[in-house]
Amino acid sequence: MKRVGPPPWSVPVAIHQVPETGRQFQLAADAGTRAAIARAVGLRDLSRLAANFEVSRHGRGGLRVVGDIAATVTQDCVVTLEPVESDVNETVDLLFLPPAARTDLAGAVTDDNMIAPDEAPEPLIGGAIDLGAVATEFLTLGLDPYPRKPGATFDVPATADDSEHPFAALAALKKGQGGDGR
């Protein structure tokens, strides 16, 4: 089994570091961290990555993270393979609870509303969260899976001979069976 290394950006925050009134975090990844994240998620470049988070206590043993991430990324165009620069802006609203409390709350009613199974709280491991990992995850979720340079179009090449198309062999088999496909 391949060992997974440390995350490219780690900003751990323990629950005891967050006062009852909450705590603000304004994070900006340095050049080395941005390069490591770019390699990890398959970007040509990550010229900017910043996160603003408000971390507050939730109940006795949980934390809530609310904020946003902003980044400038360069990806490969899916048509031309040329660089495409774009901005990524994602809103973050996560609840972290100790593992035992997570299972108790899944599908339960809280003071605010009912927690849907797909909105189940994240695990609070060892009484801490990693804001760098949260920012990296939301950056990844905000990436365009098919970046395209403006005006880039993909034209399917025309074949002069119908026997060269991808399903020519299947068409020949079909003709050999009487051509009606039965």
Model pLDDT for residues 32-71, shown as the tens digit of each residue: 999 999 999 999 999 999 999 999 999 888 999 999 999 9
Overall pTM surpassing 0.85 (yes/no): no
Q: Enumerate residues 6+ apart whose C-beta is below 8 A from 44.
A: 38, 74, 75, 76, 83
**Whole-angstrom distance, CA of residue 72 vs CA of residue 84:** 11
As a whole number of Å, the end-to-end CA separation of the chain is: 48
User: What does the pLDDT average to over 86-103?
Assistant: 87
Is the pLDDT at 76 greater than 70, yes or no?
yes
Q: Which residue has the tokens 């069976």?
A: 177
Neighbouring-strand partners of residue 128: 14, 125
Q: What is the mean pLDDT of the chain?
A: 84
Query: What pLDDT score does 6 carry?
Result: 80
Backbone angles phi, psi at 59, to 5 degrees: 65, -150
Cβ-based burial of 138 (10 A; exposed 0-12, middle 13-18, buried ≥19): buried
Is the pLDDT at 2 greater than 60, yes or no?
no
